[in-house]
Amino acid sequence: MQELLASLYLWLKAGHIIFVIFWMAGLFMLPRFFVYHQESAVGSPEDAAWIERERRLLKIILLPGIIVVWLLGLALMSAIGAHTQGWFHAKLLVVLALSGYHGWMSAYAKKLARGERVWSGKKLRLMNEVPGLAAAIIVVLAIIKPF
C-alpha cells in the first residue's frame, strides 16, 4: 500500500490542493453570506433565499471539500511518513481547528434558518478572517517545514 501511495504522491498532492481551494472558497463565502442573511427579515422571501444559498454552499462545496481534503491529506501523510514530523503535528492542529470552525459555521447556518440572529455583522466579518489566517499558517508549515 505504501508503494502505491508513493507512486501516486503527485496526484494525491494535486487533488489535495484542488480540494483545499474549494473548501477554503466556501469557508470565505459562508460568513459573508451570514452577514447579508442577518440583515434580512425573518420569514421573508430574502431570508428563505439566504437559507437555500447557505444550504447549497454547505452541501455542494464545503462538505465534499472537507471530506476529500481529509482523505487525501491522510493519504499524503501516510505516503511520506509526515506523522513523525513536528511541522505536520502543528499543521494537523490548525487543520483540526479549521474543521471545528467549519462545524461552527454549519451550526450557525442552522440557527439563522431558525430565525436566530446571535452574532453581529461586525463579529461575523471578523470571523471571516479565520480561514485566511489558518491558510497562511498551514502553507508556511507545509512548505517551510520549520520544525
- Global confidence as pTM: 0.93
Residue 145 among known ligand-binding residues: no
CA separation, residue 52 to residues 7, 24, 124 (Å): 42, 20, 19
pLDDT digits (tens, 9 = 90+) for 44-97: 999 999 999 999 999 999 999 999 999 999 999 999 999 999 999 999 999 999
According to the annotation, is 91 in a ligand binding site? Answer: yes
Cα 71 to Cα 24, 64, 115, 137, distances in angstroms: 16, 11, 35, 20
* pLDDT higher than 80, residue 119: yes
- pLDDT tens-place string over residues 18-57: 999 999 999 999 999 999 999 999 999 999 999 999 999 9
Domain boundaries along the sequence of the chain = 2-144
pLDDT of residue 1: 80
